[in-house]
Chains A and B, each alone.
Chain A
Amino acid sequence: MANNKKMKKTTRSNLLMFGFVIVFWAVIQVVSLTGHMTSKLNGLLIPVCAYIIMAISLNLVVGFLGELSLGHAAFMSAGAFAGIFFYTTVGATLPKAAALVISFILGGAAAGLFGILVGVPVLRLSGDYLAIVTLASGEILKNVLSALYIGKDSTGIHFSLKDQFSLGLKPDGKMLIKGAMGIPGIQKFSNFTVGVILILITLAFIVNLKNSRAGRAITAIRDDEIAARATGLNLTHYKLLAFVSAAVFAGIAGVLYALNYSTLVADKFDYNLSINVLVMVVLGGMGNIFGGMIAAILLTILPEMLRGFSQYRMFIYSIVLIVMMLFNQAPALVAWRQRLVSKVKGEDRKAEEKVETADASYFEEMKSKSNEKTGNEESVKEEK
């Protein structure tokens, strides 16, 4: 039956995604075992994993919930600071494995909490307004973290939002977070396998969420909020679910990312990073998790590969971005591409397409007709 066919189809494409991640892992293993790994590429592995997790999780908000978030980096930052703060303090006294696991969990939890804190008030907004508010909350977090000083001495832990001196540390004191200088002296931990495991966990969570009752509710809200409410869906509940789940994984990605460097500064997680992740999601195709992953890999590695052209690389990147967007989205170019494809594929395809477009124009016509007929009725526009 059709059901079974569908089950098979989604399962197959899901398996493909998991398979891809595992193949990616295997290829890297082979490359490094055979001694072909360059230090440049090696340094990129963990950022690539972190960006993949970021892109998958942002897809939940942008692709499935259909809301624009320009603050995804903030959740990464919240997770990174919480996780690393634990890792460098309490974690230093624990066995390494336990310290790492707890750091990841704490990072995810902190980002999730920040997600709730931001999401509860702002998810009432939508569209460009939500975009600007998420951007703003990210900048707020960045500023606050950049001004945060935490130190420890024999009398206990001291906080300040001003400067190091107002902590009043005793001579035996130690700075734990140094404002804009962030958290120094992190014991680096970069293990590609751990990164891949985290990707697989993220992937499993988000793909399964998407293909469940909650996921259907989330996509239904994206497609039509009014119909979703009339169908009995609790908008706030599901918007928050999507937003906070995405935040949790961004937080985990943050911990993973931060562990790769010896210092952690808040400035790294600015709106440019949020935008970069958004670009990955959009280039990969909104709602297309696999595409997002590929884009995350390419957009992290490509600029580094272009290092040879050092000063030209971001310039080239920007042109590629614009051209890709035009090529993928501009109606005229899309139509031209379809014509090209149908020419290549032959007449059959062409005939099919003709029917489709004829149908489509028929819908449009009928729809506008019924709108025309009834559109004026009882539309109450409040203007205040």
Chain B
Amino acid sequence: MQFLTYLVRGISLGSVYALIALGYTMVYGIAKMLNFAHGDVIMVGGYVVFFAFCKNGFNPWISVLIAMGACMLLGITIERVAYKPLRGTPSLAVLITAIGVSYFLQNGAMLLWKSDPKSFSSIVGINGLNLFGGKLQISAETIVTIITSIVIMIVLMWFVKKTKPGHAMQAVSEDRGAAQLMGINVNGIISLTFAIGSALAAIAGALLLSSYPTLMPTTGAMPGIKAFTAAVFGGIGSIPGAFLGGILLGIIENLSKAYISTQLSDAIVFLVLIVILLVRPTGLLGKKTTVKV
């Protein structure tokens, strides 16, 4: 029973990673860049929900919607101002800029909202589950997080596979130049991608903070890094891959915390990542392409 509790908690944490990783993976797939600042968008989303819901008592749905809107706007602005001018330059240049944006968001948050931790109250208003006569307790946050991430993953896959903008996204991901020649508005598609990724980050922020209620300007950094490894783990660029990678990462982290060592849990997560990449260099569900000679 103990094991099940840890497993469920792992899946819940993994679902948050999955939501963040989905944003990472979409941006990587379409804009071909590592948006290192993605984790910090989560933090911004967290603050927006905090002020709307915890401080001003807005309805939780409305609070999350406001946060999504704010993060979308933020994501699009970041892309337009900092990343777009660098399109076509070496990926390292873009990566460093993204790191700059990450610092900008963290320190901007520090100036605006101070560095003292804020205590977040859960946005989930329902009761948890008590199974097996109270032996297995599943919190409402856990349930909501898991369901939300599954629903979002399915919607996202449907969107990419079945809708017109989704097809355009695939085309831009395959060959940006060709897509442009086919009349696809590449800038628009990239903005859309950032908007979707950032909106997901806002949801992830609200859910993450509902389970782990300490909000600080650096709150997003570590989950961001973990989610990034989750995306790589699952095969970066692949939507189901990001989901799978996130869930597995959450489970591994929680189980190693429970059974091996709290201090070493991160080390174990990263070790598994390295091993996976060495065995399957493109991640679990990534596509393998060989360089043409």
Docked CA distance A383–B104 (Å)? 40
Contact with B along A108-152 (1 / 0, CB 8 A): 000000000000011011011101110111011001101100000
Overall SS of chain A's interface: helix
A183 to B100: give the CA distance in the assembly, Å.
Answer: 32
In the bound complex, residues from chain B placing their C-beta under 8 Å from that of A147 are: 261, 263-264, 267
Contact assessment for A226 and B96 in the assembled complex, using a CB-CB cutoff below 8 Å = no
Q: In residues 76-105 of chain A, which contact B (Cβ within 8 Å)? A: none
- What residue in chain B is nearest A121 (Cβ atoms)? B278
B254 at the interface (CB under 8 A from A): no
The total of Cβ contacts below 8 Å across the A-B interface reads 150
**B288 near A384 (CB under 8 angstroms)?**
yes
Q: Enumerate chain A residues within 8 angstroms of B236, measured Cβ to Cβ.
A: 128
List, in ascending order, chain B residues with CB within 8 A of A143's CB: 263-264, 266-267, 270
- Cα distance A234–B67 in the bound complex, in angstroms: 52
Check B100 against A318 for contact (C-beta < 8 Å). Answer: yes
Docked-complex contact A326 and B85, CB < 8 angstroms: yes
Give the CA-CA distance A282 to B86 in the complex, in Å. 14
Q: Is A330 an interface residue (CB 8 A)?
A: yes
A283–B107 CA distance with the chains assembled, in angstroms: 20
Contact of A382 with B by CB under 8 A: yes
Question: Contacts A136-B229, A279-B96 known; A122 to B274 CB distance under 8 Å?
Answer: yes
Write out, one digit per residue, whether chain A residues 48-78 have a CB within 8 A of any chain B CB (1) or not (0). Answer: 0000000000000010000010000000000
Closest Cβ of chain B to A317, distance in Å, is 7
Residue of A nearest to B110 (CB): A311
Interface residues of B in 136-171 (CB under 8 A from A): none
Give complex CA distance A279, B97 in Å: 9
Instruction: Compute how far the CA of A139 lies from the CA of B99 in the bound complex, rounded to whole angstroms.
Output: 18
Q: Is B92 an interface residue, CB under 8 A from the partner?
A: yes
Residue of A nearest to B33 (CB): A128
Q: A381 an interface residue at 8 Å Cβ cutoff?
A: yes
Interface 0/1 of B73-117, CB less than 8 Å to A: 000000000100110111111011101110110111011000000
A380 CB–B CB distance under 8 Å = yes
The answer to whether A322 touches B104, judged by C-beta atoms less than 8 angstroms apart, is yes
Contact of A129 among B90, B107, B232 (CB under 8 A): B232
> A136, B274: Cβ atoms under 8 Å?
yes
Min Cβ gap A104→B in Å is: 27
Whether A8 is near chain B, meaning CB under 8 Å from some CB there, is no
B4 within 8 A of A: no
B277 x A129 contact (CB < 8 A): yes
B181 within 8 A of A: no
**What bracket does the count of chain A residues touching chain B fall in?**
35 or more
B69 at the interface (CB under 8 A from A): no
Contact B95 A68 (CB under 8 A): yes
Q: Which residue of A lies closest to B281 (CB)?
A: A125
Central interface residue in A121, A319, A329, by most chain B CB within 10 Å: A329
Q: Tell me how far the C-beta of A221 lies from the nearest C-beta in chain B, rounded to whole angstroms.
A: 14
The reply on A37 being an interface residue by CB < 8 A is no
Judged by DSSP, the binding face of B is: helix
Q: Which residues of A contact B95 (CB under 8 A)?
A: 68, 131
B289 in the interface, Cβ–Cβ < 8 Å?
A: yes
Please tell me if A2 contacts chain B, counting CB pairs below 8 Å: no
How near does chain A come to B220, taking the closest CB pair, in angstroms?
14
Answer yes or no: B127 CB below 8 A from chain A CBs.
Answer: no
0 or 1 for each of A328-366: is its CB under 8 Å from B? (1 = yes): 111111000000000000000000000000000000000
On whether the beta carbons of B110 and A325 are closer than 8 Å, the reply is no
**A325 and B86 form a contact (CB under 8 A):** yes
- B99 near A122 with CB under 8 A, answer no
Quick check: A330 and B287 within 8 Å, CB to CB?
A: no
Give the docked Cα–Cα distance between A125 and B82 (Å).
28
In the complex, the chain A residue whose C-beta lies closest to that of B275 is A121
Q: Is the CB of B273 within 8 A of A124?
A: no
Cβ A129 vs Cβ B92 within 8 A: no
How far does the Cβ of A239 sit from chain B's closest Cβ, in whole Å? 15
A282–B264 CA distance with the chains assembled, in angstroms = 32
Say yes or no: B93 contacts A139, CB within 8 Å: no
The verdict on B34 contacting chain A, using a C-beta distance below 8 Å, is yes
Query: Is the pair B93, A315 in contact by a Cβ cutoff of 8 Å?
Result: no
The interface residues of chain B lying within 8 Å CB-to-CB of A325 are 86, 93, 96-97, 100
Note all chain A residues with C-beta closer than 8 A to B88. 331
Q: Are B96 and A321 in contact, with the CB atoms below 8 A?
A: yes
Q: Which of B180-239 contact A (CB under 8 A)?
A: 225, 228-229, 232, 236
The yes or no answer to B291 lying at the interface (CB within 8 A) is: yes
What are 29 sample pairs from A and B whose C-beta atoms fall under 8 A apart?
A: A62-B92, A129-B281, A132-B228, A136-B270, A139-B266, A139-B267, A140-B267, A143-B267, A144-B264, A147-B263, A161-B261, A179-B263, A278-B96, A282-B96, A311-B111, A312-B111, A314-B107, A315-B104, A317-B103, A318-B100, A318-B103, A318-B104, A321-B97, A322-B82, A326-B82, A329-B93, A329-B97, A383-B289, A384-B287
Supplied contacts A146-B263, A315-B111, 6 more A-B pairs, CB within 8 Å: A121-B274, A132-B228, A144-B267, A147-B267, A315-B104, A328-B93
B contact residues vs A (CB 8 Å cutoff): 28, 34, 82, 85-86, 88-93, 95-97, 99-101, 103-104, 106-108, 110-111, 225, 228-229, 232, 236, 261, 263-264, 266-267, 270-271, 273-274, 277-278, 281-282, 287-293
